[in-house]
Structure 1
Amino acid sequence: MSGEGAGWTPIAAEAERATKVLHPESLKLPRPTRRRIMTVANQKGGVGKTTSTVNLAAALALHGLKTLVIDLDPQGNASTALAVEHRSGTPSVYEVLIGEISLADAAAVSNQSENLYCVPATIDLAGAEIELVSMVARESRLKEALNSEALDQLGVDYVFIDCPPSLGLLTVNALVAAKEVLIPIQCEYYALEGLGQLLRNIELVKAHLNPALDVSTILLTMYDGRTKLADQVTSEVRGHFGDTCLSTVIPRSVKVSEAPGYGQTVLSYDPGSRGAMSYLDAAREIATRGAEEGTA
């Protein structure tokens, strides 16, 4: 810590960390060589999927990258965390999927950053899977909405699609619309349970609907350094996925859990916290990979 010395205190350290988050001009993240569309998926609930989506998106947006979050979960938790209106009747991803409105008509600017947009989910989305069954090209409705022209209109560098905790038609739409999958995995017992099914589904979508799809990023969440189990899970996941895993691990944090209740990401709720800094570090890794590798 650069501030360590006679005047160093934990509060001073947290203030220094908060300054780095709140004054991002000192850390401009590189733009990707091409626009990146990332589906954040894991059918297992409670792994930090929505939390990771909104905090990574906010971190990228705060540091100069235009970012769009598509809330594809009928619970609307991503919309809540980004303080975007999602009452019934609000222009939302539901109307986008059924072709009633354009992406730009549904996208709202979050109060977290002028670079951060969100297409909210309303309760209407709960019945969308049933409606989609009878539609032409039902698996590609979101892909059609996220066409280059629509995304150029918003001028975004990154698109994050937050999926429901299931492997239904909404998640399939998300996998068809993206070229990359980001899988959050919690550092807890049963962490890998169900992951095989998700990977098989991704392979099926890749084989039949979206040959460009690839699992590009694994993010370890809810890490508790006090337990041996967390280290065991981390080692197992890294051993299996290698460089696909980000080196940054997201710690278990009360602040991260509290933030959505205040309509905020942890970066605005408590910018000096370990959770905020970890998501900022993870976003930096993602941005660096995007600039170096040209993934899109």
Structure 2
Amino acid sequence: MGRVIAIANQKGGVGKTTTAINLAAALAEKNKQVLLIDIDPQGNATSGVGVEKEKLEFTIYDLILGETPIQSCIEFTEFENLSLIPSNVDLAAAEIELIGIQEKEYIIKKEVDKIKDKYDFILIDCPPSLNLLTINAMTTADTVLVPIQCEYYALEGLSQLIHTINLVRERLNPYLDIEGIVFTMFDARTNLSLQVVENVRANIKQRVYSTIIPRNVRLAEAPSHGYPITIYDTKSAGAESYRALAEEVMNREEG
């Protein structure tokens, strides 16, 4: 049975999509069957694994509207063991079109349950907001992984996100858990990055991953070329960090 992890933070620019793409690729590199689901209307996870948003026959939008089965939405990427359910700007209209639909919080879950057994990991890249799409991801997921940027306002919004996760657990998905918090865009040259890490570790009662993702030029460049960092620059600090994070995620499952 595949493990479903939603990667969420309502704050934009925290490395959420970067984490979704590169964690998926690092798990696939370790011979895990991985499905990446892009539910962000910006579609950055889609283009970040080399799939052209403009040439898609079916996307997550068609799935949500019930116009196509989930199997028709799955795209094979050029990377071994990594498949994708893509997204594009059409998805921005989904929330309005779902007004009045019964059990609209469970639309993605019902579809993902049909194919869950085929994958070791299913990663969902959420939009940078706490909307119906994110709620769908949380009803589908076993856990939520939260990327946090190493900056002054890191804790701002985190308590709101944890509150939302707790609400979803109470009302919609009693099995939902917090996978953990992962620090991104860490700059070892600044005291601020170190202070943020210490502050979060001291104040948050959630699991915090040991792996810290550095601020890395190659990591920032990779998506524009349609490659995960493990392929784009396999020996870079960013690639090694996501491999280490993948090991931690896998070990949590085994532990």
Normalised TM-score (structure 1): 0.84
Q: What is the aligned partner in structure 2 of residue 126 from structure 1?
A: 92
How far is the alpha carbon of 1:123 from its aligned partner?
1.6
Structure 1: gaps (5+ residues)? 1-33
Relative to structure 1, the CA distance from residue 191 to residue 143 in structure 2 (aligned partners, 3 Å threshold; closer, same or farther) is: same
SS at match of 1:276: helix
Question: What is the one-letter code of the residue matched to 2:116?
Answer: L
CA-CA distance at 1:78 after TM superposition: 0.1
Structure 2 gap ranges (5+): none
The answer to whether 1:98 aligns with 2:61 is no
Same amino acid, percent of matched pairs: 46
2:133 aligned residue: 170
- 1:76 pairs with 2:43: yes
The reply to whether residue 150 of structure 1 matches residue 108 of structure 2 is no
Distance 1:128 1:243 in 2: 32
User: Hey, what's the Cα distance between the residues in 2 that align with 1:289 and 1:196?
Assistant: 23
CA apart distance, 1:272:
0.7
Q: Which moved more, 1:84-93 or 1:135-144?
A: 84-93
Query: What is the CA–CA distance in structure 2 between the aligned matches of 1:184 and 1:127, rounded to whole Å?
Result: 26
Counting matched residue pairs gives: 255
Q: Distance in 2 between matches of 1:126 and 1:246?
A: 32
Match of 2:106 in 1: 140
Residues 73 and 162, structure 1, Cα contact 8 Å, conserved in 2: yes
Is the contact made by 2:20 and 2:125 (CA closer than 8 Å) also made in structure 1?
yes
Superposed displacement of residue 59, structure 1? 0.3
1:200 corresponds to: 163
The match for 2:231 is 268
Once residues 90 and 225 of structure 1 are traced to their aligned partners in structure 2, the CA distance between those partners, rounded to angstroms, is 44
Q: Is the 8 A contact 1:88 1:122 kept in 2?
A: no
The letter for the 1-side match of 2:84 is C
Contact kept? 1:76, 1:122, Cα under 8 Å: yes
The amino acid that maps onto 2:195 is Q
Q: Which of 5, 9, 29 does residue 62 from structure 1 map onto?
A: 29
- List aligned pairs for 1:206-225, cutoff 5 A: 206-225=169-188
**How well do the aligned residues superpose, as a CA RMSD in angstroms?**
1.3
* In 2: Cα distance, 1:116 partner to 1:88 partner: 19
Corresponding residue for residue 227 of structure 1: 190
Secondary structure of 1:192's counterpart equals coil
Aligned: 1:87 with 2:54: yes
- Quote the offset at 1:89 in angstroms: 5.2
Which structure: larger Rg? Answer: 1
**In the alignment, which residue of structure 2 is the partner of 1:247?**
210
Give the direction of change, closer, same or farther, for the CA distance of 1:48–1:109 in structure 2 (3 Å limit). Answer: same
Quote how far apart the aligned CAs of 1:56 are.
0.3
CA drift of 1:242 comes to: 5.5
Once residues 274 and 132 of structure 1 are traced to their aligned partners in structure 2, the CA distance between those partners, rounded to angstroms, is: 42
Asked if the contact 2:178/2:206 (under 8 Å) is kept, the reply is no
What does residue 76 of structure 2 align with? 109
Q: Which aligned runs of 4 or more in structure 1 are off by greater than 6 angstroms?
A: none
For residues 242 and 55 of structure 2, what CA distance do their matches in structure 1 show? 31
Give the Cα separation in 2 of the matches to 1:221 and 1:38.
18
TM-score, normalised with respect to structure 2 = 0.97
Supply the distance in 2 between the matched residues of 1:200 and 1:35 (Cα, whole angstroms): 26
> Residue deviations 1:257-281, cap 9 Å, x none?
0001101111111111000100111
The alpha-carbon deviation at position 102 of structure 1 amounts to 1.7
Deviations 1:45-104 (A, max 9, x none): 000000000000000001100001100000000001111232265211111111121222
CA distance in 2, matches of 1:128, 1:167: 14
